[in-house]
Amino acid sequence: MNRLARKVAAITGAASGIGRATAELFSAEGARVAILDRNGPGGQEVAAALRSAGHDAHSWEVDLADGGKTEEAVTQAAAHFGRLDILVNNAATYVPRSVEDISRDEWRMVVDVNLTAYFLMARVAAGEMRRQGGGSIVNIASVHRLISEPNSSAYAAAKGGVAQLTRNLAIEFAPHNIVVNSISPGFIRTPMSIVNGVDETTTEHFMNYYVKFGRIPLRRAGLPEEVAAAALFLAARECGYLTGADLVVDGGLTITL
Q: Is residue 203 part of a domain?
A: no
Q: How far is CA 226 from CA 79, 133, 185, 230, in A?
A: 31, 29, 9, 7
Q: Is residue 73 part of a domain?
A: yes
Give the CATH number, domain containing residue 90: 3.40.50.720
Q: Is residue 215 part of a domain?
A: no
Which residues carry out catalysis? 155
Q: Is residue 108 part of a domain?
A: yes
Q: Is residue 196 part of a domain?
A: no
Q: Is residue 12 part of a domain?
A: yes
- Domain interval for residue 119: 8-190+222-256
- As a whole number of angstroms, the distance between CA 79 and CA 94 comes to 31
Domain count, the chain: 1
DSSP state of 248: E
Q: Is the dihedral of CA 21, 67, 115, 97 positive or negative?
A: positive
Q: Is residue 198 part of a domain?
A: no
- As a whole number of angstroms, the distance between CA 169 and CA 126 comes to 10
- As a whole number of angstroms, the distance between CA 111 and CA 32 comes to 29
Backbone φ, ψ for residue 163 (5° rounding): -60, -45
Mind listing the pLDDT tens digit for each residue in 115-163? 999 999 999 999 999 999 999 999 999 999 999 889 999 999 999 999 9
Q: Is residue 16 part of a domain?
A: yes
At 80, the pLDDT band (50, 70, 90 cuts) reads very high
At 197, the pLDDT band (50, 70, 90 cuts) reads confident
Q: What pTM does this model have?
A: 0.96
